[in-house]
Chain A
Amino acid sequence: MSEEFRLDKIGLVNRDKKISFKFNGKKYFGYEGDTLASALIANGVHLIGRSFKYHRPRGFFGAGVDEPYAMVQLYRNNETEPNVRATEQELFEGLEAKSLNCWPSVNFDIGAINNFLNKFLPAGFYYKTFMWPKSFWYKIYEPFIRKAAGFGVVSTKHDNERYEHKYEYCDLLITGSGPSGLASAYAAAKNGARVILAEDKSRFGGSLLTSEVSIGNQNGKDWADNIIAELKEMPNVTVKNRAQVFGYYDHNMLVMSERLSDHLPKSKKYTPKQRLWYIRAKEVIISTGSIERPIVFGNNDTPGVVLASAAKEYLKVYGVLVGKKPLIFTNNDSAYETAIEFKKNNINPIILDTRKNPESEIISEAKNMGIEMKFSYVVVAAKGYKKVNFAEIANISEDKKDLGKIENINCDCICVSGFWTPTIHLASQSGNKTKFNEEIDAFVPGKSKQNETTVGSANGIFSLEKTLITAFEKGHEISKKITNKDNKISVPQVSEKKFTQHDKFWCVPLPKEKNYKRFLDFQNDVTVSDVELAIREGYRSIEHVKRYTTLGMATDQGKTSNLNGLQLVSSIENKIVPSVGHTTFRPPYTPVSIGAIVGREIGKHSKPTRKSPMHSWHEKHNAVFVDAGIWLRPRYYKKGNEGLFEASKREAENVRKNVGVCDVTTLGKIDVKGPDAAEFLNRVYTNAWLKLPVGKARYGVMLREDGIVMDDGTTTRISEHHYHMTTTTAQAANVLSHLEYYLQIVWPELNVNVVSTTEQWAGAAIAGPKSRNLLQKLFPDINVSNEGLPFMGYLESNLFGIPARIFRISFSGELAYEVNVESDNGNFMWEKIIEIGKEFAIQPYGTEALSTLRIEMGHVAGSELDGRTIPYDNGLDGLVSKKKDFIGKRSLNRKAFIAKDRQKVVGVVPLDKKTSIPEGSHLVKDANAILPNPKLGHISASCWSVEYNNPFSLAILKDGKNMIGKKLFALCPVKNKSIPVEIVSSHYVDPKGERVRS
C-alpha cells in the first residue's frame, strides 16, 4: 500500500531509510524516524482499536504521551508487550503490532453491540449490576467483565530482556527539552552546575520542532539543535532522550525511565532494554510543557478527530497529513498555526472558531492566506463510523447555550483545540500546592514544598519570549545558589506571533432530540452523561466522581480528560473549578514496565544467596538444599532412590547409633567484648551470667520487652572480657540490632562492643554416641573425657595445624560437639571430619534430620519460639531468674502469662502410631463439634521418631502441663484429616538428658 498521506518535502524523518512493518498482519512501509502512529496515518490507517466499554472504533487523538486510545499489542524479537502507545513507539524494521480489545477483528467487533446497549452501561454500571447475588460472581460476572474489559495481553513467558537501575546525583535536574528546558539547562550549565536534562521523546526541542518562531536569528529548531549539541559536549551535563521522569518523591528523589532499546528491532548485547534512574537532585526545574485539551462535542471519539497540535506535529515532524479535508475547531489562536501549515502544503482547511470576532496577528495571516473561517461556530457532532466523513456544525449564540440551524460540512478529519493545560503532574507529586489560573482556565504550580521550580508553558506561560526570559533567569539563579558562580548568559532575541485571548468554551450543547455521546475520557469511555448521572446520584467529591465513573483512571491518567471533567462537575454544581479541586496526581506520570521497576533484582538476584564454605562439598555429595533465611542449607543428602523421608530417617538414625556431622555455619555469631560484657549478658538473657567461668558455655534465652521469647542460643566465655554468642540462623540480624539498641541507647554506660562474626567462622556439629572417639582422633592432643571437656565445656586446639574452637554443646540431644574454624578453613575441617569419621560410620546429616532429632528430644526451636510464646510456654521457666532484672522480665507478670491454664509445649503421638500429623493442625476435644470448633492448641512441628519408629509431634497446648495422658483430636481441614492423638511429654527421648552428659 502506498503512503498516500505522506508529503514529499516536509518533516524530519529519514527518507533514505525505508522501514517495513506489519499492522494486524498487513505489511506497510514507513521511514526511519517515524512513530508507529505517523507511519500508519501516512498509509491512511486510522482505525486502530476498539474502545474499552462500548467497543467503538478508535483511531489517533494525540501524537505523544497524552494519547488516550492508540494502543497496540507489540511484537518484537519473539516477545510481546501490551498497551504500547503507537504515538510513542518508534518504528523499526520488522515491527509487528496488533489492535487491542476487539474480537474477532478491528473491522468487525462483536463487543460493539455494547454501543447499542449503552443504556445498560451507564456510570457505576459495574457496581450496580454485578453486586447480587453473590454466587453469580465466580461463574457469570467475573468472566464476563474479564472478557469484555481490559486491553492488551501480558506475555506469560519469561522476559529475557535486561533492565537496569542507576543511582545518580546532580545539582539540577531538568525535565523536558522544550524552549524553557533548554534555556534553563543552558544557563545553569554555563554557570557550572551539574545538570541532567531529560527528554521523553527521541527528538529534543519540544514545541520548537513544530512552531514558526525564531530565536537569535535562527529558526526555533536550529536553535534547539545547536543548544543540545553544545550541552552534549559539556562535561558537567548529561543529556538523555527517550527518558521520562515519571515520579517526584520525597527529598528531591526523582525516578526516570530511559528506553534504550524499545526503538530497536532487538536489544544490543550488554545494552539493557530500559534503565530506571533514581536521581537525587539538589534542585529541579520542571519544563514539562502543556497538553492541548479537547473541546467536547458529539461523537468526538470518531477516528479522524485529533488534537490540532497533533495534526501539526504529524505534518511538521513526520510529513504526514491526518486528512486532506481538515476541519479545524478551536476556541483559541494556536490552532491557526495548524491551519496555516495545512494551507502551506496545499490543503484547504476550514476553521470553526467559537469566538465571535477574534483579532490577532495570526488570524490576519490565516485570513490573508485565504483560509476559510467561520466565527461563533461549533462542531455539533462528528459523523462517520470508522472515520469522520462529515460534520454537523452550527452557529452558537453568544451565551453559548443555543445552537443555530445544523449544517453538514464535508471533512475527513476534525482538528480540535480547546486551549492548553499545563503539565503539572511532577510539581503536584512533589507536594506543590497548585492553584487555579483563571486566565488560562487551568491549574498551575503554586507554592513549592521541595526544591522545584516550574518554567514555561508548564507554568502557564505561553509566550516564547517570556518563557525564555524566565527560564534563562531561573537556570542562572538556581545554579548560582549551588555553584556560587555568576556567569550570566544574555537572552537571545525572539520573534513570534502574538496571540489574543482564548474563549473559555469547552463543551458543545446537545442539539434538541439528539443523543450524541460526548466523551470526556476517551480511554475509559466516560461521557458527559455519565458524570451528570454520578452527580444526580449524589456523588460530590471529585475523587468520588472519578472512581464511580472511572474518569481519568485509564492508562493515560486523564491527561486530556481531567480538566474537562472538572469543568463539567463545576458547571453542574455551579461552583468554580478551583473549589471543586483536581484529583491527586500520583506517580507514575506514564506507565512504567514492571521489568524496569524490578531491574536486575530478578531470580537469584532478588536477594543475596549465602553459602557456607562447605557448600560445594554438599553439592558434590547430592545434598538437596533448602532456603534458611537467605542461606542455602543441605536438607538431606540423597542416596540412590531415596526421598526426603527415607534419607532424613537414615541420617537421624545414624546420629542416634553412630555419629553424624552437620554444617552449622549459618548460625548467627556475635562477639561480645568489654569489661561490662558479663553484666550486659546478664541483662539481655533471662538466666544468670555473672558467674560463668572462662572456658564454659551456657544456654540462654532472650526476651523482648513484652515478655515474648526473641531468640535462644549458647554463649561461651572465651576469655575474661570476650564472649562468643550464637543466635538462630533467622534471628541473627535482629539480635544484633537489639543488642546495639540497648548498648547505644538504654545503657550507654556499659563498656561493651558487639560485632557480627557469622561470616568469620565455619561450624560443624559432630553428634552421636561415637562423637567422642572421632573428636579424639581429630584432636589427639586434648583430653576429650567427661572430665577434660565436660558438657558445656570449651577448648581451643589445632586441627592438623589449623586453629580450632571446640564446644561441647548439643542440639540433637546426643553426646555432641561443635567445631569452629576460620571460614577459609571450613572445607578442610569438613573433609577431615568425614575422612577420619569413616571408621565410626559417619554420615553427614541435613536440616531435616536435625529437626527430627530436636523434635523427639523436645528441644524448642523457631516453630515454638514463634513470636507468640513466653519462656513458660516452652518449658524454659527454669531459665528465668527470680533474683535479677532483665529485658522483658516485668512483662512476665502479665495476667495472661501467669494464668493457671497457660499454654505449654507438649508431645503428641497419634493413637494408631502410623498417621503423621500435619504441622499447623488444631488440637480439639471433639472432632465433630459444631464449627467453629474450640481450639485448644496447634501442632508446631512434626517428625518421624527414629527412636520409636512412629510419628511424633510437638504442640503448643492450652493448660499443657495438665493434659499429659489426655486423648484429643488433631484436625487438619486443609488436608481433610482428623487424627485421634494422645498427649505425652515433649521430651519423648531421653527425658532426663543423660546422653548429652555421657
Chain B
Amino acid sequence: MLHIKCPHCGLRSQNEFSYGGDGTVKRPDLNKEVSDKEWDTFVYLRKSPRGKHVELWHHISGCRQWIKVERDTATHEIFKTSKVNEDI
C-alpha cells in the first residue's frame, strides 16, 4: 500500500485516496472550436509510461482535495506531491 503525502493533510495511506489518472491532461477551453482529433485525444488517449508519471489522486477519505503526485509507475516510488494549482 502506497504512502502518499497529501499537501494539505500530510502522509496518509493509499486507501484514503482514489486514483485520478494522468495529471497532465488539459481540458480544451469551453466554447473553443476543437478538431475531432484534438477532442478524441483529450477524451480517450492516455500515455501509460513506465517510469515517472504525473498523476492525479483524490483524497476522498480526507480533505477531498485533488492533488498531483509524481510517481514511478514501475517502482511505485513517489518523488513529489503538490496541490493541483501548483507546478509539480
Scan A64-106; emit 1 where CB is below 8 A from any B CB, else 0. Answer: 0000000000000000000000000000000000000000000
Residues of chain A within 8 A (CB-CB) of B13 are 253, 280
Residues of chain B within 8 A (CB-CB) of A737 are 18, 58, 60
Q: Taking the complex as formed, is A838 at the interface, i.e. its CB lies under 8 A from any CB of chain B?
A: no
Q: Taking the complex as formed, is A748 at the interface, i.e. its CB lies under 8 A from any CB of chain B?
A: yes
CB < 8 Å neighbour of B30 from A252, A280, A885: A885
Instruction: Please judge, given known A-B contacts A741-B66, A885-B31, A891-B43, whether A251 and B58 are in contact too, CB under 8 Å.
Output: no
Residues of chain B within 8 A (CB-CB) of A251 are 1-3, 76, 78
Scan B47-82; emit 1 where CB is below 8 A from any A CB, else 0. Answer: 000000000101010001110000000011010000
Q: Taking the complex as formed, is A278 at the interface, i.e. its CB lies under 8 A from any CB of chain B?
A: yes
B41 → chain A, closest Cβ, in Å? 12
Are the C-beta atoms of A683 and B58 separated by less than 8 Å?
no
B87 → chain A, closest Cβ, in Å? 14
Q: Taking the complex as formed, is A431 at the interface, i.e. its CB lies under 8 A from any CB of chain B?
A: yes
Which residue of chain A has the shortest Cβ distance to B23 in the bound complex?
A745
Residues of chain A within 8 A (CB-CB) of B85 are 744, 748
A885 to B75, CA, bound (A): 41
Residues of chain A within 8 A (CB-CB) of B42 are 705
Residues of chain B within 8 A (CB-CB) of A683 are 30
B85 → chain A, closest Cβ, in Å? 6
Q: Taking the complex as formed, is A831 at the interface, i.e. its CB lies under 8 A from any CB of chain B?
A: no
A431 to B75, CA, bound (A): 8
A870 to B27, CA, bound (A): 21
Are the C-beta atoms of A744 and B84 separated by less than 8 Å?
yes
Q: Taking the complex as formed, is A449 at the interface, i.e. its CB lies under 8 A from any CB of chain B?
A: yes
Are the C-beta atoms of A745 and B43 separated by less than 8 Å?
no
Instruction: Please judge, given known A-B contacts A250-B76, A746-B27, whether A741 and B3 are in contact too, CB under 8 Å.
Output: no
Q: Taking the complex as formed, is A897 at the interface, i.e. its CB lies under 8 A from any CB of chain B?
A: no
A249 to B3, CA, bound (A): 11
Residues of chain A within 8 A (CB-CB) of B43 are 705-706, 891
Which residue of chain A has the shortest Cβ distance to B85 in the bound complex?
A748
Residues of chain A within 8 A (CB-CB) of B56 are 745
B53 → chain A, closest Cβ, in Å? 15
Residue count of chain B within 8 Å CB distance of chain A: 27
Q: Taking the complex as formed, is A621 at the interface, i.e. its CB lies under 8 A from any CB of chain B?
A: no
Which residue of chain B has the shortest Cβ distance to A250 in the bound complex?
B76
Q: Taking the complex as formed, is A740 at the interface, i.e. its CB lies under 8 A from any CB of chain B?
A: yes
A86 to B62, CA, bound (A): 46
Residues of chain B within 8 A (CB-CB) of A890 are 28, 34, 39
Scan A852-885; emit 1 where CB is below 8 A from any B CB, else 0. Answer: 0000000000000000000000000000000011
A890 to B43, CA, bound (A): 10
Residues of chain A within 8 A (CB-CB) of B30 are 683, 885
A746 to B30, CA, bound (A): 10
Instruction: Please judge, given known A-B contacts A683-B30, A706-B43, whether A280 and B3 are in contact too, CB under 8 Å.
Output: yes
A884 to B78, CA, bound (A): 41
A14 to B71, CA, bound (A): 54
CB < 8 Å neighbour of B20 from A278, A705, A741, A885: A741
Are the C-beta atoms of B1 and A278 separated by less than 8 Å?
yes
Scan A284-322; emit 1 where CB is below 8 A from any B CB, else 0. Answer: 000000000000000000000000000000000000000
A972 → chain B, closest Cβ, in Å? 34
Are the C-beta atoms of A891 and B39 separated by less than 8 Å?
yes
Instruction: Please judge, given known A-B contacts A280-B13, A737-B18, whether A745 and B66 are in contact too, CB under 8 Å.
Output: yes
B18 → chain A, closest Cβ, in Å? 7
Instruction: Please judge, given known A-B contacts A744-B66, A891-B43, whether A250 and B1 are in contact too, CB under 8 Å.
Output: yes
Residues of chain A within 8 A (CB-CB) of B64 are 740
Which residue of chain B has the shortest Cβ distance to A894 in the bound complex?
B36
Residues of chain A within 8 A (CB-CB) of B66 are 740-741, 744-745
Identify which of residues 11-36 in chain B touch chain A, using a CB-to-CB cut-off of 8 Å. Answer: 13, 18, 20, 27-28, 30-31, 34, 36
A449 to B64, CA, bound (A): 31
A449 to B74, CA, bound (A): 12
A218 → chain B, closest Cβ, in Å? 41
A655 to B76, CA, bound (A): 57
Residues of chain B within 8 A (CB-CB) of A278 are 1
- Pick from A250, A449, A683, A893 the residue with the most CB of B within 10 Å: A250
Scan A929-950; emit 1 where CB is below 8 A from any B CB, else 0. Answer: 0000000000000000000000
A278 to B13, CA, bound (A): 11
Residues of chain B within 8 A (CB-CB) of A746 are 27
A666 to B83, CA, bound (A): 33
Which residue of chain A has the shortest Cβ distance to B38 in the bound complex?
A890
A251 → chain B, closest Cβ, in Å? 4
Scan A398-429; emit 1 where CB is below 8 A from any B CB, else 0. Answer: 00000000000000000000000000000000
Residues of chain A within 8 A (CB-CB) of B60 are 733, 737
Which residue of chain A has the shortest Cβ distance to B29 in the bound complex?
A885
A431 to B84, CA, bound (A): 31
Residues of chain B within 8 A (CB-CB) of A884 are 31
Scan B1-12; emit 1 where CB is below 8 A from any A CB, else 0. Answer: 111000000000
Are the C-beta atoms of A253 and B34 separated by less than 8 Å?
no
Residues of chain A within 8 A (CB-CB) of B75 are 431, 449
Residues of chain A within 8 A (CB-CB) of B18 are 737
Residues of chain A within 8 A (CB-CB) of B65 are 740, 744
Are the C-beta atoms of A745 and B76 separated by less than 8 Å?
no
- Pick from A251, A746, A884 the residue with the most CB of B within 10 Å: A251
Residues of chain B within 8 A (CB-CB) of A744 are 65-66, 84-85
CB < 8 Å neighbour of A745 from B34, B36, B44, B84: B84
Which residue of chain B has the shortest Cβ distance to A741 in the bound complex?
B66
Are the C-beta atoms of A249 and B1 separated by less than 8 Å?
yes
Residues of chain B within 8 A (CB-CB) of A740 are 58, 64-66
Identify which of residues 725-745 in chain A touch chain B, using a CB-to-CB cut-off of 8 Å. Answer: 733, 737, 740-741, 744-745
Residues of chain B within 8 A (CB-CB) of A249 are 1
A630 → chain B, closest Cβ, in Å? 15
A354 → chain B, closest Cβ, in Å? 43
Which residue of chain A has the shortest Cβ distance to B31 in the bound complex?
A885
Residues of chain B within 8 A (CB-CB) of A745 are 56, 66, 84
A249 to B20, CA, bound (A): 22
A253 to B76, CA, bound (A): 13
A250 to B13, CA, bound (A): 11
A5 to B5, CA, bound (A): 59
B6 → chain A, closest Cβ, in Å? 13
A449 to B76, CA, bound (A): 11
B39 → chain A, closest Cβ, in Å? 5
A278 to B2, CA, bound (A): 12
Which residue of chain A has the shortest Cβ distance to B58 in the bound complex?
A737
Instruction: Please judge, given known A-B contacts A740-B66, A745-B56, A890-B39, whether A250 and B31 are in contact too, CB under 8 Å.
Output: no
B71 → chain A, closest Cβ, in Å? 10
A793 to B60, CA, bound (A): 34
Residues of chain A within 8 A (CB-CB) of B34 are 890
A673 to B25, CA, bound (A): 27
A748 to B26, CA, bound (A): 13
A253 to B3, CA, bound (A): 9
A733 to B18, CA, bound (A): 12
Are the C-beta atoms of A253 and B27 separated by less than 8 Å?
no
Are the C-beta atoms of B1 and A253 separated by less than 8 Å?
yes
A977 to B65, CA, bound (A): 51
Which residue of chain B has the shortest Cβ distance to A737 in the bound complex?
B58
A235 to B2, CA, bound (A): 29
Which residue of chain B has the shortest Cβ distance to A754 in the bound complex?
B64
Which residue of chain B has the shortest Cβ distance to A249 in the bound complex?
B1
Residues of chain B within 8 A (CB-CB) of A253 are 1, 3, 13
A323 to B13, CA, bound (A): 52
Residues of chain A within 8 A (CB-CB) of B2 are 250-251
9 contacts between A and B (CB under 8 A): A250-B76, A251-B1, A280-B13, A740-B64, A741-B66, A744-B65, A745-B56, A748-B85, A890-B28
Q: Which 3 A-B pairs have the closest CB atoms?
A: A251-B3, A885-B30, A250-B76
- Add 19 more A-B contacts to A250-B1, A706-B43 (CB < 8 A): A249-B1, A250-B2, A251-B2, A251-B76, A251-B78, A253-B1, A253-B13, A278-B1, A280-B13, A431-B75, A683-B30, A733-B60, A737-B60, A740-B64, A740-B65, A746-B27, A890-B34, A890-B39, A891-B39
